Amino acid sequence: MKDVIAAEILTKEDVTALIIQSKKQAGLTWEGIAEKIGMSPVWTHSACMGMNAFAPEKAAALCALLELPEGAAEVLEESPTKVWAQTVPTDPCIYRFYEIVGVYGPTLKALIHEEFGDGIMSAIDFDMKVTRIPNSKGDRVEVTMSGKYLAYNAW
């Protein structure tokens, strides 16, 4: 994999494509990759998709694991530009939920597909709970969502 892209400058999109290709070739899951580099699957996928920046040691571990070309680690360490095409409300609380889906939506989809197969989480057969979690650095908001898995039908 290291000689795939020689001296050309890599973009986040290039590195994402190389990661996906290497992941498939190695027969790895996001859960497996995350475990091997010591990160959570959600964070790992999001950063691999260019939506978060890896710490240098994690970028190096991922590049070694997936045999990515020289220069890939530096790209993985770059701060991302988090842009998506949807128009979002301006209310700060509601906007943050759009931000979460904009940044982590592809990650959630990938992890759901990996765990359950090709399908969706229902928003009809669905439960959600909001809980305050006391924390010395400032209370945390915990949002727990649970939706029935619905596999796509083939016909």
Average pLDDT for the chain: 91
The residue annotated as part of the active site, out of 40, 70, 74, 96, is 96
How confident is residue 81, by pLDDT bands cut at 50, 70 and 90?
A: confident
Residue 155 half-sphere exposure, CB side, CA atoms within 13 Å? 2
pLDDT digits (tens, 9 = 90+) for 4-36: 544 479 999 999 999 999 999 999 999 999 999
Residue 97 shares a structural domain with residue 136: yes
Residue 126 resides in a domain: yes
The residue annotated as part of the active site, out of 74, 122, 140, 142, is 122
Residue 135 resides in a domain: yes
Say what the pTM is.
0.76
How confident is residue 67, by pLDDT bands cut at 50, 70 and 90?
A: very high
| 49 alpha-carbon distance from chain centroid | 6
Residue 72: strand, helix, or coil: helix
Residue 35 resides in a domain: yes
Tell me, what CATH number does 66's domain have?
Answer: 1.10.260.40
Q: Tell me which residue of 81, 150, 83 sits closest to 121, measured CA to CA.
A: 150
Residue 86 resides in a domain: no
Whether residue 127 contacts residue 148, with contact meaning beta carbons closer than 8 Å, is answered with: no
Catalytic: 146? no
pLDDT digits (tens, 9 = 90+) for 82-132: 776 767 788 999 899 988 998 999 999 999 999 999 999 998 898 989 999
